[in-house]
Amino acid sequence: MGGFQLCVRHTGEKAVITGVRIHPAPDQKPLSAEVTDRIMSPRVVAQEDPGKHRGRFLVLGSTVGGPPHWTGSYYGPKGPAGTFSRRLTGLVVTQTCHQMKQAMAAAIDRGKVPKTTSHELLVTLTVDRRGGRVDGFDVDYRTPDGRTGVLRERWTITACGSAIQNHRDCPQGSWH
């Protein structure tokens, strides 16, 4: 599983998510790939003690498991902080990338409650012993004036397995 922060460039901009398309590797398709919105609102962060549990607020680079089952999570037995929603169509993104960085710094670096809500798009792969790979995803969106756009993210997400044992992310002996 891997995470990708959603934000807009400038204050006052707005993007409405109209869809997310995942691109599995043709020869190494996972059994399934799902997208989830991790929501970090000031209310959610305030319910935790960000000074004590800073690790639970980290951006999700990768972990084992996915919402709501964080088996073997690097974020502790409770998993990462936040609320999670599989409903992405219609999600309105207004937080600037600068605000996103400030919110994360508040929760992680200073143990404070951020002032704005952040959204992190999580891509979760389900695989068998063969593993699986996704070669990116597209986020379709529209702006309030009706313009449409596509954010093309070509971030490779790999779950090691027998079919992917010699991939750069899966050195020999790292799979079972």
Contacts of 155 (CB under 8 A, 6+ apart): 2, 4, 136, 137
Looking at residue 173, its pLDDT comes to 52
Which range has the worst mean pLDDT, 5-9, 56-60, 106-110, 161-165?
Answer: 56-60
Looking at residue 137, its pLDDT comes to 93
- Of residues 107 and 170, the one with the higher pLDDT is 170
Stated pTM of the model = 0.79
Looking at residue 176, its pLDDT comes to 47
> What does the pLDDT look like over 13-52, one tens digit per residue?
999 999 999 999 988 899 999 898 988 877 777 676 655 6
- Of residues 128 and 78, the one with the higher pLDDT is 128
Residue boundaries of the structural domains of the chain: 2-164
Q: Are residues 119 and 63 in contact, defined by beta-carbon separation less than 8 angstroms?
A: no
> What does the pLDDT look like over 73-110, one tens digit per residue?
555 666 677 788 999 999 999 988 888 777 777 666 66
Alpha-carbon distance of 39 to 7, in angstroms, equals 13
Nearest to 2 by CA among 127, 159, 141: 159
